[in-house]
């Protein structure tokens, strides 16, 4: 039995992100409060989000994920001496006894059980990886990527040279992130199977996800969408074979199951607290459950989306840590509200940065909101800066009100800054006009004099003035096949980077007139056809469209975000 009093002022269940953050903040706010945290695993407060770096070998060992910035391990001794609260590891809370205000605890290693009383309780039990509803063998070569053992298990095999190729099942956040961890660092062949018709479903719209898919292909990752894995079996040597509907079986040395997570809400449900259909614990804006003495935060709770005002499940470390602060403040007697979520995320796959916040075009439609979308490709700092890199943005906003709804960003450039600014604007319920007015820090090492977000606002306003922008996905949309594609790039650009074959396949040979020559060569452009102007990033196409419109051309369209979004 651990040395414990039989009761604490505050008991916390779960010890990775939300739990320790609550405890540490509360111990600062209420010094002297008796706080006890029970954690099922033997490790505490490890940086789960750093798992890909551990799997890849970039981090020397798991210890790096449990260390403070000053090199001290975040273990029970650290939390007791530096933070002022008690932690009991390898201790599973098996039941919440709300009548008696106790929790039942089982020590995982010895099997001992005991009860511990609480004044108030915090549930921070996190999430559990989804298992596919298909036949799946029990094997250390077929695993999710969720626990320390999952990561070190894979890494040990990779280090022993036992893995030449892997299959990742699931093309969401973790699946896409893993492509780099295993592909780049270990030189392992990577195949990814995603059931939905695009990568990062529900996070990006299809044309933005297509950029990710093409970029993965360039890195040698075979990411297939719209494919259904039917089962995984082990061959005679104990190695997995993945069976995909309508395809040859795929042998692999390792299979990652990256199928998302669901909330660990069992204790809450069994003790009669209000939970959602998927088991997420329902909380109010103070993060209090249906029992006023019990709070909950992190991956185990249901959130409210700030734009749709609808419940949403959003398991993110960024939110779990903020939940911890809010819960602690409220336990300490303050009155703090959690404002809801806008779903900000960022991730990296090789050199490509990927992010989003708010609603995509698809999710806006699903929420019954009528939206417009605009796209743009920009450098993240002046082109003369050798560090400049490109990014492609898609902005979604409400048709009637111009209210901002969401931003998606893909590219090698600095997308994070744009996601964060947009997130703040969404929290403030701002509109396109406000985006135009936001004041940013500018100097050439960091940014352009006008930020890409200013340009996005300008594009949205231009759209209002009757200019027609075509989605980067136009080749797959029902398009007028008689459209004349007008390439207004410079001669050298067109010669060195011909239009993607997909475009010429649909529209035939393009007419090439560099922007600077267009005014003199207007007679070469057929007035009776729909014109689609194309350039590298979209700016010159816009100029070209204005020249054509001024000259009386009536049916002029611009390829949004240019060829940058087609690569
Ligand atoms: C590979 C990977 C990469 C990620 N990258 C990012 C990222 O880049 N950005 C981001 O925002 N998020 C990321 N996340 C998500 C992030 O890690 C989670 O949102 C965060 O860990 C949630 O914290 P939590 O405390 O709510 O729950 P968890 O981290 O799930 O921790 C809950 C803990 O409670 C314990 N527990 C459960 N039940 C009991 C019980 N009955 N008794 C005692 N203990 C119990 C569990 O064993 C677990 O240790 C990533 C996740 C993974 C797996």
364 shares its domain with 424? yes
Take residue 347 and report the two structure tokens written for it. Answer: 């991730």
d(Cα 540, Cα 559) in Å, to the nearest integer? 10
Closest residue to atom 18 of ligand 1, CA basis:
317
Q: Report DSSP state, residue 495.
A: H
> Confidence class of residue 501 from pLDDT cuts 50, 70 and 90?
confident
50 shares its domain with 35? yes
Q: Which atom of ligand 1 is nearest to the CA of 18?
A: 25
248 shares its domain with 290? no
Protein residues whose CB sits closer than 6 Å to any atom of ligand 1:
13-19, 38-41, 48-49, 51-52, 92-93, 124-127, 145-146, 174, 264, 267, 298-299, 315-318, 320
* Domain at 543, CATH number: 3.40.250.10
Residue 222 falls within a domain, yes or no?
Answer: yes
Please provide the distance, in angstroms rounded to a whole number, between the alpha carbons at the two ends of the chain. Answer: 61
Take residue 64 and report the two structure tokens written for it. Answer: 């790096």
206, 402, 513 from 480: Cα distances, Å: 21, 29, 21
148 shares its domain with 255? yes
Q: Check: CB of residue 264 under 8 Å from CB of residue 128.
A: yes
Its domain, for residue 110, covers 7-127+262-331
Closest CA to 406 of 443, 375, 449: 375
Is this complex scored with an ipTM above 0.90? yes
Q: Which atom of ligand 1 is nearest to the CA of 316?
A: 19
93 shares its domain with 32? yes
Residue 85 falls within a domain, yes or no?
Answer: yes
Average pLDDT value for residue range 130-140: 92
Residue 442 falls within a domain, yes or no?
Answer: yes
Q: Which of 214, 241, 259 is the last residue of a domain?
A: 259
* Sequence-distant (≥ 6) Cβ neighbours of residue 391 within 8 angstroms: 353, 377, 378, 380, 409, 410, 411, 412, 413, 414, 415, 418, 452
Q: Report DSSP state, residue 476.
A: G
pLDDT in tens, 522-545: 999 999 999 999 999 999 999 999
The answer, yes or no, to whether residue 1 has pLDDT greater than 90, is no
d(Cα 199, Cα 195) in Å, to the nearest integer? 9
Residue 2 falls within a domain, yes or no?
Answer: no
Q: Which atom of ligand 1 is nearest to the CA of 323?
A: 26
The answer, yes or no, to whether residue 478 has pLDDT greater than 80, is no
278 shares its domain with 312? yes
The answer, yes or no, to whether residue 551 has pLDDT greater than 90, is yes
- Number of H helices and number of E strands within the chain? 15, 29
Average pLDDT value for residue range 270-279: 97
pLDDT at 261: 97
424 shares its domain with 531? no
d(Cα 131, Cα 116) in Å, to the nearest integer? 33
The answer, yes or no, to whether residue 460 has pLDDT greater than 90, is yes
245 shares its domain with 290? no
Mutation probe of ligand 1 site: the residue of 106, 315, 322, 355 with most atoms within 8 A of C-beta:
315
The answer, yes or no, to whether residue 506 has pLDDT greater than 90, is no
Cα(126) to centroid(ligand 1), Å: 5
pLDDT in tens, 82-112: 999 999 999 999 999 999 999 999 999 999 9
222 shares its domain with 310? no
pLDDT in tens, 175-218: 999 999 998 878 899 999 999 999 999 999 999 999 999 999 99
Closest residue to atom 37 of ligand 1, CA basis:
125
Q: Which of 207, 230, 259 is the last residue of a domain?
A: 259
Average pLDDT value for residue range 504-520: 91
> Confidence class of residue 276 from pLDDT cuts 50, 70 and 90?
very high
Strands (E), 280-362: 294-296, 303-304, 311-312, 345-349, 352-358
* Domain at 202, CATH number: 3.50.50.60
Residue where the block lists tokens 């992010």: 355
Q: Which of 259, 277, 298 is the last residue of a domain?
A: 259
The answer, yes or no, to whether residue 479 has pLDDT greater than 70, is no
Q: How many CB atoms lie within 10 A of CB 170?
A: 27
If you average pLDDT over every residue of the chain, what do you get? 95
Average pLDDT value for residue range 480-491: 90
Average pLDDT value for residue range 446-461: 95
Number of domains forming the structure of the chain = 4
Q: Check: CB of residue 353 under 8 Å from CB of residue 409.
A: yes
Please state, for a pLDDT cut of 70, what percent of the chain lies above it.
99
Closest residue to atom 7 of ligand 1, CA basis:
49
Please state, for a pLDDT cut of 90, what percent of the chain lies above it.
89
DSSP 351-420: TEEEEEEE--HHHHHHTT--EEEEEEEEESS-TTSTT--EEEEEEEEETTT-BEEEEEEEESS--HHHHH
Average pLDDT value for residue range 57-68: 93
67 shares its domain with 22? yes
Mutation probe of ligand 1 site: the residue of 316, 354, 420 with most atoms within 8 A of C-beta:
316
Closest residue to atom 28 of ligand 1, CA basis:
126
Residue 345 falls within a domain, yes or no?
Answer: no
The angle that helices 173-186 and 206-218 make with each other, rounded to 10 degrees, is 10
């Amino acid at each position: 039995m651990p040395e414990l009093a039989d009761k604490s002022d505050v008991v916390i269940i779960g010890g990775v992100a939300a739990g320790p953050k609550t405890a540490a903040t509360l111990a600062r706010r209420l010094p002297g409060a008796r706080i006890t945290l029970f954690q099922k695993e033997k490790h505490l407060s490890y940086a789960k989000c750093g798992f890909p770096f551990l799997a890849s070998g970039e981090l020397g060992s798991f210890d790096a994920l449990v260390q403070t910035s000053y090199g001290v391990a975040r273990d029970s001794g650290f939390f007791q001496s530096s933070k002022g609260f008690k932690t009991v590891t390898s201790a599973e809370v098996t039941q919440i006894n709300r009548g008696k205000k106790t929790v039942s605890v089982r020590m995982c290693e010895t099997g001992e059980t005991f009860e511990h009383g609480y004044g108030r309780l915090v549930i921070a039990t996190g999430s559990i990886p989804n298992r596919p509803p298909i036949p799946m063998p029990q094997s250390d070569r077929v695993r999710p990527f969720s626990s320390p053992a999952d990561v070190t298990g894979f890494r040990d095999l990779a280090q022993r040279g036992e893995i030449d190729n892997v299959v990742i099942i699931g093309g969401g956040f973790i699946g896409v992130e893993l492509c780099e961890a295993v592909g780049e660092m270990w030189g392992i062949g990577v195949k990814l199977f995603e059931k939905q018709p695009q990568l990062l479903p529900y996070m990006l719209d299809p044309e933005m996800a297509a950029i990710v898919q093409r970029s993965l292909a360039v890195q040698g990752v075979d990411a297939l969408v719209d494919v259904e894995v039917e089962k995984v079996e082990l061959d005679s040597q104990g190695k997995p074979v993945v069976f995909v509907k309508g395809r040859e079986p795929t042998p692999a040395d390792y299979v990652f199951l990256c199928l998302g997570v669901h909330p660990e809400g069992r204790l809450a449900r069994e003790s009669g607290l209000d939970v959602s259909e998927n088991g997420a614990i329902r909380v109010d804006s103070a993060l209090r459950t249906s029992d006023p003495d019990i709070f909950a935060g992190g991956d185990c709770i249901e959130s409210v989306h700030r734009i749709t005002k609808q419940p949403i499940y959003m398991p993110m470390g960024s939110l779990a840590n903020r939940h911890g602060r809010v819960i602690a403040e409220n336990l300490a007697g303050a009155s703090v509200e959690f404002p809801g979520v806008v779903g900000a995320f960022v991730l990296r796959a090789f050199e490509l940065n990927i992010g989003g916040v708010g609603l995509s075009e698809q999710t806006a439609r699903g929420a019954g909101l009528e939206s417009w979308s605009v796209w743009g490709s920009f450098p993240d700092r002046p082109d003369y800066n050798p560090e400049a890199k490109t990014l492609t943005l898609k902005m979604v906003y409400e048709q009637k009100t111009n209210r901002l709804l969401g931003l998606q960003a893909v590219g090698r450039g600095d997308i994070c800054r744009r996601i964060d600014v947009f997130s703040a604007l969404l929290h403030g319920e701002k509109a396109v006009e406000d985006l135009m007015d936001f004041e940013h820090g500018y100097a050439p090492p960091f940014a352009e004099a006008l930020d890409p977000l200013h340009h996005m606002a300008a594009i949205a306003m231009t759209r209002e003035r009757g200019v027609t922008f075509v989605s980067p996905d136009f080749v797959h949309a029902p398009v007028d096949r008689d459209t004349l594609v007008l390439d207004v790039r410079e001669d050298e650009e067109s010669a060195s980077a011909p239009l993607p074959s997909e475009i010429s396949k649909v529209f035939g040979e393009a007419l090439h007139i560099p922007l600077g020559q267009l005014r003199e060569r207007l007679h070469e452009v057929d007035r009776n056809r729909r014109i689609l102007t194309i350039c590298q990033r979209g700016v010159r196409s816009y100029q070209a469209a204005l020249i054509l419109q001024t000259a009386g051309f009536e049916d002029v369209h611009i390829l949004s975000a240019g060829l940058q979004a087609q690569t």
